[in-house]
Amino acid sequence: MSREIVSKFISADRRGATLRNLLAEKRCLRFLEAHNPISAILAENASQTVGGQKREYDGFWSSSLTDSTARGKPDIEVLDIKDRLGNVNDIFEVTRKPLIMDGDTGGKPEHFAYDVRSLERLGVSAVIIEDKTGLKKNSLFGNDVFQQQESIEDFCNKIHIGKQAQISTDFMIIARIESLILDAGIDDALTRADAYVGAGADGVMIHSRKESPDEIFEFAKRFRQQHPTVPLVCVPTSYSSISFEALEAEGFNVVIYANHMLRSAYMAMKTVADSILFSGRTLEVEPSCLSIKEILELIPGTK
């Protein structure tokens, strides 16, 4: 059944405040990567009933990795935030849920201040910036490539400048800690977390590239002893066997599924492209494709 276009209208202020409101209402939130409007529509309308309980995504994650990949560019901060705002605006035109922005390193502090204002003005709920410096490399490479953490003092200054730039109290700046990614250890991660929260960070994201969640669970336990109410975020790309419920039980407040919409979509497209060439027709790929009828019903206002 077609949905009315008007049902998607929501003010920037109202959307921007949604994340804080959800964090006050729910113990843990699910966010799914969306790299274009159609992936956001699919994420917004996805729902499952499991054990009598309805499950749905609480919002979207705008990933620098998937935004870069969708444009055929490397994930090395080639696209800055302003290069990605048009895509976010297109997503906002057809959805209602909140969005968290992957802000990479945040760039220079003076530039970050302007980015914060741009994101807040558009209705983005939060930006996550990572405590690395220099040419950005994807965190899952770890120490296989050269990556360097920014000094605690400099990163705290960036957080402080960003907080000073925002207009409302709704917008959130979340500090992403790379200590476990770069094998600096949990003590270093906790030291940084304390400093970043002290500098004004509204939340902390702890990242890990290990298949076991043990180190993030230990971090969460010790972090909660010092900061019982500060939102804690994780991205279980590497430790994918761990359930949402287990992460919630360990004290996480936001779980981000950071790249799965793009990874699944492009695998399917590659398979379909190869199959059409092999078969010389499209009959064989039709079961793998969304029907035209479903496409027409998915997009508001088409009928």
Give catalytic residue positions. Answer: 75
* Number of C-beta neighbours around residue 9 at 10 A: 9
Which contacts (CB < 8 Å, 24+ apart) does range 166-171 have?
166/116, 166/117, 166/120, 167/117, 167/120, 168/13, 168/16, 168/17, 168/120, 170/13, 170/16, 170/17, 170/19, 170/20, 170/125, 171/16, 171/116, 171/119, 171/120, 171/124, 171/125, 171/126
Instruction: Return the half-sphere exposure (C-beta side, CA atoms, 13 A cut-off) of residue 223.
Output: 31
Name, in order, each residue with C-beta under 8 angstroms of 212's C-beta and a sequence gap of 6 or more. 239
What is the C-alpha separation between 274 and 142, in angstroms, rounded? Answer: 33
What is the C-alpha separation between 171 and 89, in angstroms, rounded? Answer: 17
What is the C-alpha separation between 197 and 50, in angstroms, rounded? Answer: 36
Name, in order, each residue with C-beta under 8 angstroms of 180's C-beta and a sequence gap of 6 or more. 186, 189, 206, 207, 208, 209, 210, 215, 216, 219
Asked if residues 150 and 183 have their Cβ atoms less than 8 Å apart, the reply is no
Name, in order, each residue with C-beta under 8 angstroms of 74's C-beta and a sequence gap of 6 or more. 68
